Amino acid sequence: MLTSEQDEQDLSQSYEASSESIRSASYVLSKQPQVNASKLTCNLENREDSSRSESCDMEELKSDLHDEVIAKLDKNIIVEQELKQQLSSPAHTSTSDQTSEEQDPSSDTAQNIVCMFKKANKLGQEAILYWCYFIEKYDKRIDNVVAGGVKKKTATSMVYQEIKQLLPDITDVNLRQKILRARKLYKLFNTLGLEKIKQVSYSADAISSLNYPQIQNIIDHVNSATSSHNETVKILHDQSHVTSKINPTNAYIPPKAESSTSANVLSATQSKPIYDRSYFRNKILDQYPNLYRECSSENFDYYGITDDGVSRKTICPLCKLGHDDEEIEGRYKAGSYFIKCEQREIKITA
């Protein structure tokens, strides 16, 4: 009997111990998913915070780039307007102090072209002048190769490679960029006169940062201002000359009929439009906004094509294609004007 009671006590204690173990295990198991869920939630929150931080950083970067572009555009507009004022005043000095090496056409070798390049890279305000010399000699070198029976595209590539070999420390991207920038300086000051360089307060980098339409705007403004100034001076000179020659007591007064006839003839002459070479040049630039005039010879005008500003591609406005030769040729003949590209020639009507 005692043995039976003892067995029952042992069995009861064993049962209670087993129950306690089960409750402990159940408690642990019930808590484990909560711990893992808590960790998962924490990781997700950290990822969201990181994503938000990256998004904020990207927005700040975009904002900074936008502000930088706007600042550059604003600066270029200021440079353009101030250059119009600086270059509109008459030039009082002449840039005729070229060395014999710079004046000698036979010195348009690759070595001499590179010499101009290196001088322009080192100098301050005089850099503008040497960049103009550089492009002038660069283009003459190309013309000399073309005169030997080589196509212009091939000649351009040949001269570029000659220059590049003598400038091993300059990358292709950097060299091409400098040539493009130098062409803007050459277009501006070769058109207005190299003596005008001394009138500007901006550096070569600041001026060459302008786009071609801005360069053309400056040229048009200065030419218009110079023309108005010259016309005013001429009128004042003529009035002074006539006044000094006339004696009021012996002045001849023509009959009213003759005066009226002369006035009508003069009026008819003045009202008749003049469709000269200059007229057609301006008409082309108005008709094709992505063209700019590079230079002119005795019989021809040469126009370049600006890129679209987005894809950096140049599309010919005549054939609507992008072809190798980005130059358009213009020709004035007997009151008519023709422009042509590689694919097409058209007549510009007055």
186 pLDDT band, cuts 50/70/90, is very high
Picking from 215, 250, 266, the residue at the C-terminal end of a domain is 215
The predicted structure's pLDDT at residue 260: 47
Flag whether 18 is in a domain.
no
Closest CA to 84 of 191, 185, 199: 199
Q: Which structure tokens are listed for 146?
A: 């073309």
Flag whether 281 is in a domain.
yes
Is 70 exceeded by the pLDDT of residue 103? Answer: no
Same domain, 199 and 289: no
Flag whether 114 is in a domain.
yes
Closest CA to 191 of 154, 149, 226, 146: 226
The predicted structure's pLDDT at residue 112: 86
Cα gap 104→116, rounded to integer Å: 13
**Torsion on CA atoms 8, 13, 14, 15, rounded to nearest 10:** 90
Flag whether 86 is in a domain.
no
The predicted structure's pLDDT at residue 348: 87
Flag whether 143 is in a domain.
yes
Contact 302, 233 (CB under 8 A): no
Flag whether 65 is in a domain.
no
Q: Which one has a higher pLDDT value, 294 or 89?
A: 89
Instruction: Report, as an integer, the average pLDDT of 145-169.
Output: 92
Is 50 exceeded by the pLDDT of residue 3? Answer: no
Q: Which structure tokens are listed for 135?
A: 């492009």
Instruction: Report, as an integer, the average pLDDT of 108-128.
Output: 82
Is 80 exceeded by the pLDDT of residue 239? Answer: no
H/E stretch holding 190 reads helix 172-192
Flag whether 60 is in a domain.
no
Same domain, 113 and 207: yes
Picking from 186, 215, 244, the residue at the C-terminal end of a domain is 215
How many domains does one find in the chain? 2
Q: How many CA atoms lie within 13 A of 239 on its CB side?
A: 6
DSSP assignment of 11-26 equals: HHHHHHHHHHHHHHHH
Picking from 170, 196, 215, the residue at the C-terminal end of a domain is 215
pLDDT of 245-260, one tens digit each?
Answer: 555 555 555 555 444 4
| Residue span of the structural domain in which 340 resides | 277-348
314 pLDDT band, cuts 50/70/90, is confident
121 pLDDT band, cuts 50/70/90, is confident
Same domain, 210 and 116: yes
Same domain, 118 and 194: yes
**What phi-psi label fits residue 151: left (phi over 0), alpha (psi between -120 and 50 degrees) or beta?**
beta
Flag whether 249 is in a domain.
no
36 pLDDT band, cuts 50/70/90, is low
The predicted structure's pLDDT at residue 312: 55
Is 90 exceeded by the pLDDT of residue 163? Answer: yes
Instruction: With both helix axes pointing from N to C terminus, report the angle between 212-245 and 2-88 in degrees, rounded to the nearest 10.
Output: 20
